[in-house]
Homo-oligomer: A and B are copies of this chain.
């Protein structure tokens, strides 16, 4: 279990999401690697191989008990605790993230919001008061926050990242359209809509 490829880890949240759907919307208690793969456009063999890195969760002839597999995946992904998250940036995107109701049921709670714009500081954002970015480090350390969502313009992103890392943050979800330099023990995940659109236009005929 020591050295599971990151590409495998990246699929586990997608399995978890679809399993939750199967349980909640289709009211199923059991599924198979074949059914899950069908629904996700992934081969059944890949799903079985992925899961086999962590143990034996299925039963020949039957498949997987959905609630049990959900529980196992939540443990593997360290989702048995709720993770507090710092949100940096209270612009339109910050608003959208602060109001998103999909975080809580899947393990995350936005706990504080920061901005450097005096007009935004003090604003109430879905129950959270926007704090001065000057206080970012102290609040993050006080609340022992390890995850941040970066929703600022590109020109401040690296500078804020450096401050987040110094404050002890170990995972950053970056919405700014820029590559971030971080130490090897800090995770970064990127979300630049234009990069995603440009990848797709390659396949389109102009």
Residues of chain A having any CB pair with chain B under 8 Å: 6, 9-10, 12-14, 16-18, 21, 39-41, 76-81, 83, 85, 91-93, 95-97, 99-100, 102-103, 106-108, 146-147, 149, 170-171, 173, 177-179, 181, 187, 189, 191-206
Contact = CB atoms under 8 A, between A and B. Distances in A.
A80 B206 contact: yes
Nearest to A185: B203
Contacts of A12: 198-199, 202
Number of copies: 2
A10 B190 CA distance: 13
A171 B203 contact: yes
A77 B201 contact: yes
Q: Sorted from nearest, which 5 A-B pairs have the closest CB atoms? A: A13-B198, A92-B96, A171-B200, A189-B196, A187-B200
Residue from A171, A178, A198 whose CB has the most chain B CB atoms within 10 Å: A198
